């Protein structure tokens, strides 16, 4: 198939003609008005769409590998199962984007806005997105392995069963996010805000959460074995049945926390605040850092296997 010129593309758009399966590799459509166009299955490898307007445009199953979409407007566009490996999407507007199963592997999304986007089962592994906005987006079963979304906003996002293995999300905002059964093994969430987040059955083994805020979070039956939880704030959170074996909770605030049936074996509990915590049935085998007064109180409150 012969490659179309820029003028031919713009002519087809103006006449509402389809560009489905068009050969458009390396085409320069920077700043172009492509709203509501049909580029489904089109080949746009290394295409330049910088600053283009693509609102409501259909790029389903299109190839956009190494394409530049920086500062573009893709509100309500479709990228279903599209290939965007190593594409550049910095500062782009992708609100209400439909991109289930899209591949953003190694893509650059810094300061892009994907609020309310649908990214179910999307691949964002190795992607970089500092300060990117995913407010109230749907990332169910998304893959974010080895990604870096430091200071990104995931407020209210649905992240159930997503995979964040070794991801860096320092200082990110997960307030009211749903991370049920999410896998965050060995991820870095230092300084993150997870206030009122749902971490039910989440996997956070060997995860770094130093200085994170988890006030009123729901973390029942979560797995935090070996996690670094130094100076975390769990005020009024629920951690019933949580696994905290070998975790470092030095300086953590567990005031009002439900720790019933939790396992804290070998945990570092130096300077932890247990004020009004519920600890009946919690296991404290071989923990370090408790004061004598704390041991007495924990024993009276139904905790098990306390030192001494």
Torsion 143-119-103-65 (CA) sign = negative
241-264 burial code (b ≥16 CB/10 A, e <16): bbbbbbbbbbbbbbbbbbbbbbbb
pLDDT in tens, 145-155: 999 999 999 99
Asked whether residue 98 carries a pLDDT value surpassing 90, the answer given is yes
The CA distance from 195 to 193, in Å, is: 6
Tell me the pLDDT of the chain averaged across its residues: 99
Nearest to 168 by CA among 119, 130, 132, 217: 130
The pLDDT score that the predictor gives to residue 255 is 99
Mean pLDDT along residues 253-278: 99
3-state secondary structure of 288: strand
pLDDT in tens, 100-117: 999 999 999 999 999 999
Q: Are the C-beta atoms of 274 and 297 separated by less than 8 Å?
A: yes
Q: Are the C-beta atoms of 206 and 185 separated by less than 8 Å?
A: yes
Burial of residue 279, with CB atoms counted within 10 A of its CB: 0-12 exposed, 13-18 middle, 19 or more buried: buried
The model's confidence at residue 120, banded by pLDDT at 50, 70 and 90, is very high
Cβ within 8 Å of residue 276, ≥6 positions away: 255, 256
The pLDDT score that the predictor gives to residue 2 is 81
Mean pLDDT along residues 268-275: 99
The model's confidence at residue 1, banded by pLDDT at 50, 70 and 90, is low
The pLDDT score that the predictor gives to residue 51 is 99
Nearest to 9 by CA among 18, 1, 187: 18
Mean pLDDT along residues 226-240: 99
Q: Which two tokens stand for residue 90?
A: 């910095």
Q: Which two tokens stand for residue 19?
A: 């560009």
The CA distance from 171 to 211, in Å, is: 9
Q: H/E element holding 8?
A: helix 6-14
Nearest to 264 by CA among 234, 233, 226: 226
Does the global pTM surpass 0.95? yes
Asked whether residue 308 carries a pLDDT value surpassing 90, the answer given is no
Torsion 162-165-168-170 (CA) sign = positive
The CA distance from 81 to 63, in Å, is: 9
């Amino acid at each position: 198939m012969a490659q179309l010129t820029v003028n031919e593309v713009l002519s087809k758009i103006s006449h509402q003609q389809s560009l489905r399966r068009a050969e458009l590799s390396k085409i320069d459509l920077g700043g172009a008005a492509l709203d509501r166009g049909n580029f489904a299955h089109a080949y746009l490898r290394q295409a330049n769409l910088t600053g283009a307007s693509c609102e409501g445009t259909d790029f389903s199953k299109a190839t956009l590998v190494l394409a530049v979409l920086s500062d573009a407007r893709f509100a309500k566009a479709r990228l279903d199962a599209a290939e965007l490996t190593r594409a550049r999407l910095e500062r782009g507007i992708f609100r209400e984007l439909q991109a289930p199963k899209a591949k953003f592997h190694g893509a650059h999304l810094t300061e892009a806005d994907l609020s309310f986007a649908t990214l179910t089962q999307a691949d964002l592994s190795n992607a970089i997105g500092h300060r990117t906005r995913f407010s109230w987006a749907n990332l169910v079963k998304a893959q974010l392995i080895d990604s870096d979304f430091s200071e990104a906003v995931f407020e209210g996002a649905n992240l159930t069963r997503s995979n964040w293995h070794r991801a860096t999300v320092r200082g990110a905002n997960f307030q009211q996010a749903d991370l049920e059964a999410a896998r965050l093994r060995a991820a870095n969430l230092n300084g993150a805000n997870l206030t009122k987040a749902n971490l039910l059955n989440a996997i956070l083994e060997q995860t770094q959460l130093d200085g994170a805020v988890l006030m009123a979070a729901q973390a029942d039956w979560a797995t935090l074995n070996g996690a670094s939880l130094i100076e975390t704030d769990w005020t009024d959170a629920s951690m019933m049945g949580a696994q905290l074996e070998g975790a470092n909770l030095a300086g953590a605030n567990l005031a009002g926390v439900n720790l019933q049936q939790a396992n804290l074996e070998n945990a570092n509990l130096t300077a932890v605040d247990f004020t009004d915590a519920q600890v009946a049935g919690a296991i404290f085998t071989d923990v370090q850092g408790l004061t004598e007064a704390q041991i007495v109180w924990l024993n009276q409150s139904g905790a098990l296997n306390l030192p001494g």
